[in-house]
Amino acid sequence: MKVCRRETFNSAHRLFRKEWSDEKNRDVFGKCSNPNYHGHNYVLEVWIEGAIDPETGFVIDLKELKSVIVAHIIERFDHRNLNLDCIEFEGINPTTENIARVIWNILRVKLDPKFGIEVQLSETDKNKAYYAGV
């Protein structure tokens, strides 16, 4: 049994490697490497796998899951510049893949080890990433 909570955050970012020239960054990352940043409405789905608690009928109380997501993901990344404001992406290119992995790693520490965790992150309606740990 799995349950899912969906939250959103709105951030600026750019894709680039500082050790590459502007030209190479432009070649590889295209308009996503615009030096002044662009941004997205990220849509995050966190799926938790576990057994149903026979007392409550919950795998996990989604109000509590929401609190964890808000406190540790939304508060950190919403209305922020992922490259400049978030130490989690120091030296890490904030691609959808890397953001999903960073989020998964944060949640893995904050949530009970008995739960399986899957993260799906949409950058746009057309581009998504999914991560469930290695």
The distance from CA 95 to its chain's CA centroid, rounded to whole angstroms, is 10
Q: Is 64 a catalytic residue?
A: no
**DSSP H or E stretch at residue 11:** strand 2-13
Q: Is 4 a catalytic residue?
A: no
Least distance from C-beta 110 to a copy of itself, angstroms? 19
In the set 13, 76, 107, 117, which binds a copy of itself (CB under 8 A)? 13
Determine the Cα–Cα distance for residues 116 and 19; give it in Å rounded to an integer: 37
Determine the Cα–Cα distance for residues 59 and 23; give it in Å rounded to an integer: 50
What residues make contact with a copy of itself under the rule CB under 8 A? 1-8, 10-13, 15, 17, 28-32, 34, 36-41, 47, 52, 55-59, 61-63, 78-81, 84-85, 92-98, 100-101, 124-131
Catalytic residues: 32, 79, 123
